[in-house]
Chains A and B, each alone.
Chain A
Amino acid sequence: MPKPSPRARALLDLLTWAIVGLSLLPIAWMLLSSLRNYSEIANGAQLGAGLDLRWQNYRELWIRVDFFGFFRNSLIICGLSTLLSTACAVCAAYALARLRFRGGNAFSLAITVTQVIPGMLFFLPLYMLYRQLGERYGLVLLDSMQGLVFLYVALFTPASIWIMRGFFVAIPRELEDAAIIDGCSRLGAFVRIVLPLSAPGIIATATFVFLLAWDELFFAWVLTSSAEVQTIPVGIRLFVSQFQHRYDLMMAAGAVSTLPVLLVFFAGQRYFVKGLAAGAVKG
């Protein structure tokens, strides 16, 4: 690209950072509000009260609701969903990217179809399915962690296959072919050559699934009713309807439930940024 003048460069840098700052303001506002006194918030005087930060809001939040419980449930459910869904996606995506077989195109089409099914259409049939499995086989899927995990794995696998596929396509085929010529089985080549090479992609996909699962509200809301299995989104929504006026606690709850995804994101960021982009670009 042509080099702009130093002054133009400085202006552009400034503009970039201004946008960064602007887009972070709502998050800063959430953090600030979570540390204010709630009657100040109710009177719209968040900024007027100096910098006396009420860290006890976070403690109160913890005492008020069993936030730790929701947290633990979300971690378990999202963690398991991530593992299983990524594993399924890796297998299927490899087949789609590398192997030629009858029905491959049909499968790709099916993946596309799953992306446009309205969630509401699922609800009753899924509820009935879970109930029948419960009655006939004693599988507790309603109001249970395994029920949500199963659903999330199924829900997020198709999109993950899409992302994973992009990675496999990008890995030079020659490496694999060479291994096969050297007497490696196809499975062996997959495990020993392809998987290690696609580690960034796997991490990216896993991060993606985790973020999606952490964000799922509708099914968690309608399929669970006991606090032992409810996830953070449900907890927050219950909390909101019970303490509508406590914006300080709501914002604290928001900050707290963003934290785990933030950590996951930072942990996977190096791969994720590269990975998601590559996956999405390849389509």
Chain B
Amino acid sequence: MSPQQPHPLLFRLAQGLLATGLALGSARAAELNLWVMSTTEQQQADMRELLKPHLAANPALRVNVTVLNWESAWAKVTAAAASGQGPDVIELGSTWVPAVSSMGALESIGAQQQRELGGAQAFMPVMWSTTHRHDDPKIYAVPWYADARAAFYRTDVFKKAGVDPRDAFANWGSFKQAMQKINGTEIAGKKIAALGYPGKNDWNVVHNMAPWIWSAGGDFLSADRKRSALNATEAVQAIVYYTSFAAEGLVPRGALEKDSGQIESGFFNGQYAVIFTGPWILKQMATPKAKGGQLETLAASNFAIAPYPAGLKGNATLLSGSSLAIMKSSKHKAEAWKLLSYLTGREAQLRYSQMSSMLPTRLDAMDDPQLKRDPHVAQFLALAKNGRHYPSVAGWGPLESVYLKNLGSMFDMVGGVRGKYSPLAVKQAMDAAALEADQVLNAAQ
């Protein structure tokens, strides 16, 4: 049976069911569908609030906000790209833009439109670089918000163990020593572990490892972006260094089966003295428990932020975030553009930053004195300048899956549930990973 010809009876039946939905759908001309990811706790309400000024200025406009979650969004964006049918404006993770644009699903953003926003120089350069493929000058998205990663540490624990945070986070050597000294310090009669990070059951495996790899002078792809570089000496060194904390018991073994959310919660509960994560937990630590936050915890009143300790090649952090793009299938491109430029504008970025504690991507918003009044946010803004991002290649999506799986498997080794952990074993595993990654890169070409 051909899909174009439904049975008439069925058709009538469905039409009846639909009558109400259709009546709503055809009411107004300028109706935009916007897909965003769930970043704040009350995304729908926050988006309504965020859009208010724009809707007030455009009374004929209606915006339907659909909140997706990062996990399910991938399948839906794929389907939308494949079918050529999706929302008018869509939020894409910074690592997704090259891939989704290579599917031909995104409208490119012209020179005139870029000028309206202030051009590339108005945005953080790293974030701007994620809006197009490295080998294609066409811009497909506009950076909306950013996040960087840093160490969150317990000031009370450091004090009790007699460790100076400035020394601790100076370089890899001093960081290891500091962790050894801190491990097992007693706070309120409870022993605290030095460091907490998740193992393989987590989306962030690659993101967690990236700053260390870069700091060691390693990278994910070769300079020509054609081959994997994960098995190069520098990268392997970084992976060995990072995993050694778990191998030496500075990260409790039980953490290895957890995910980032559980590790963060462990930090709030006083299980770890240090974790590496993004600015989003600032919001949680500023929200009272009655509203689902962590304000009353010991951690929330005794923490500070530090950059990653420096490796041989300095210290980098992962700067990532989200961009907004217009889908080719949109029937209201002019309105979609107006919505997009509103949301990526200075005021909306600042407002959204307050709601989500993510960072703005516009330089003029980053310099906002009000934003900088929060010392933690100011610190993150400063760190973001040191941020790096993954190479902007069309095949990054599949590649990240391969890396995620293979880097994740390291933790089986570290956890002692598969093979024996040793620097040599890590190197061998990374050789295999690089081989698999090269195949994926080839398949994407």
Q: Does A277 contact B (CB under 8 A)?
A: no
Q: Does B58 contact A (CB under 8 A)?
A: no
Is there contact, CB below 8 Å, between B266 and A139? no
Q: Does B4 contact A (CB under 8 A)?
A: yes
6 further A-B pairs in the complex, CB-CB below 8 A; given A39-B269, A244-B261: A42-B265, A64-B292, A132-B4, A135-B85, A139-B14, A221-B75
Cα distance, A19 to B58, chains bound together (Å): 66
Interface residue from A43, A127, A150, A227 paired with B83 (Cβ < 8 Å): A127
Cα distance, A283 to B42, chains bound together (Å): 50
- A192-224 interface bits toward B, Cβ cutoff 8 Å, 1 = contact, 0 = none: 000000000000000000000000000001100
> Which of A106-154 touch B at CB < 8 Å?
123-124, 127-129, 131-141, 144, 146, 150
Q: Does B18 contact A (CB under 8 A)?
A: yes
- A236-250 interface bits toward B, Cβ cutoff 8 Å, 1 = contact, 0 = none: 011001111100000
Is there contact, CB below 8 Å, between A139 and B18? yes
> Which of B241-295 touch A at CB < 8 Å?
259, 261-262, 264-266, 269, 292
Q: Does B21 contact A (CB under 8 A)?
A: yes
Q: Given contacts A146-B18, A225-B72, A244-B262, are A124 and B79 in contact (CB under 8 A)?
A: yes
Q: Given contacts A42-B266, A222-B72, are A140 and B82 in contact (CB under 8 A)?
A: no
Residues of A within 8 A of B75 (CB): 221-222
In the complex, what's the smallest C-beta–C-beta distance from A258 to chain B, in angstroms?
A: 23
Residues of A within 8 A of B66 (CB): 225-226
Cα distance, A86 to B216, chains bound together (Å): 63
The 29 listed contacts between A and B (C-beta, < 8 Å) are A43-B269, A123-B79, A124-B82, A128-B82, A131-B85, A132-B4, A133-B3, A135-B85, A137-B11, A138-B22, A139-B11, A139-B18, A140-B25, A141-B14, A146-B17, A146-B18, A150-B14, A221-B75, A222-B76, A222-B79, A225-B66, A225-B72, A238-B38, A238-B72, A242-B38, A242-B69, A244-B259, A244-B265, A245-B265
Interface residue from A128, A131, A144, A241 paired with B71 (Cβ < 8 Å): A241
Cα distance, A244 to B66, chains bound together (Å): 22
CB closest chain-A residue, reference B260: A244
CB closest chain-B residue, reference A226: B66
Cα distance, A222 to B70, chains bound together (Å): 13
CB closest chain-B residue, reference A133: B6
Q: Does B68 contact A (CB under 8 A)?
A: yes
Residues of A within 8 A of B35 (CB): 225
Is there contact, CB below 8 Å, between A42 and B69? no
- B124-138 interface bits toward A, Cβ cutoff 8 Å, 1 = contact, 0 = none: 000000000000000
Is there contact, CB below 8 Å, between B18 and A140? yes
In the complex, what's the smallest C-beta–C-beta distance from B282 to chain A, in angstroms?
A: 17
Q: Does B15 contact A (CB under 8 A)?
A: yes
Residues of A within 8 A of B79 (CB): 123-124, 127, 222
Nearest 8 Cβ contacts at the A-B interface: A245-B265, A244-B261, A129-B3, A131-B83, A146-B17, A222-B75, A127-B79, A139-B14
Residues of B within 8 A of A132 (CB): 3-4
Chain A residues touching B, majority SS: helix
Residue from B67, B72, B292 having most chain A Cβ neighbours under 10 A: B72
Q: Given contacts A39-B269, A146-B14, A150-B14, are A136 and B4 in contact (CB under 8 A)?
A: yes
Is there contact, CB below 8 Å, between B265 and A225? no
In the complex, what's the smallest C-beta–C-beta distance from B2 to chain A, in angstroms?
A: 10
In the complex, what's the smallest C-beta–C-beta distance from B8 to chain A, in angstroms?
A: 10
Residues of B within 8 A of A237 (CB): 71-72
Is there contact, CB below 8 Å, between A140 and B22? yes
Residues of B within 8 A of A138 (CB): 15, 18, 22
Cα distance, A138 to B15, chains bound together (Å): 8
Residues of A within 8 A of B262 (CB): 244-245
In the complex, what's the smallest C-beta–C-beta distance from B165 to chain A, in angstroms?
A: 26
CB closest chain-A residue, reference B15: A139
In the complex, what's the smallest C-beta–C-beta distance from B3 to chain A, in angstroms?
A: 4
Is there contact, CB below 8 Å, between A128 and B72? no
Q: Given contacts A42-B265, A139-B15, A245-B262, are A238 and B69 in contact (CB under 8 A)?
A: yes
> Which of B24-56 touch A at CB < 8 Å?
25, 35, 38, 44
Q: Given contacts A132-B4, A222-B75, A241-B69, are A127 and B82 in contact (CB under 8 A)?
A: yes
In the complex, what's the smallest C-beta–C-beta distance from B317 to chain A, in angstroms?
A: 24
Residues of A within 8 A of B15 (CB): 137-139
Residues of B within 8 A of A124 (CB): 79, 82
Cα distance, A133 to B5, chains bound together (Å): 8
> Which of A227-283 touch B at CB < 8 Å?
227, 237-238, 241-245
> Which of A38-65 touch B at CB < 8 Å?
39, 42-43, 64
Interface residue from A123, A131, A136, A225 paired with B68 (Cβ < 8 Å): A225
Residues of B within 8 A of A243 (CB): 261
CB closest chain-A residue, reference B35: A225
Residues of A within 8 A of B269 (CB): 39, 42-43
Q: Given contacts A42-B266, A129-B3, are A245 and B261 in contact (CB under 8 A)?
A: yes
Residue from A136, A222, A226, A244 having most chain B Cβ neighbours under 10 A: A244
In the complex, what's the smallest C-beta–C-beta distance from A100 to chain B, in angstroms?
A: 26
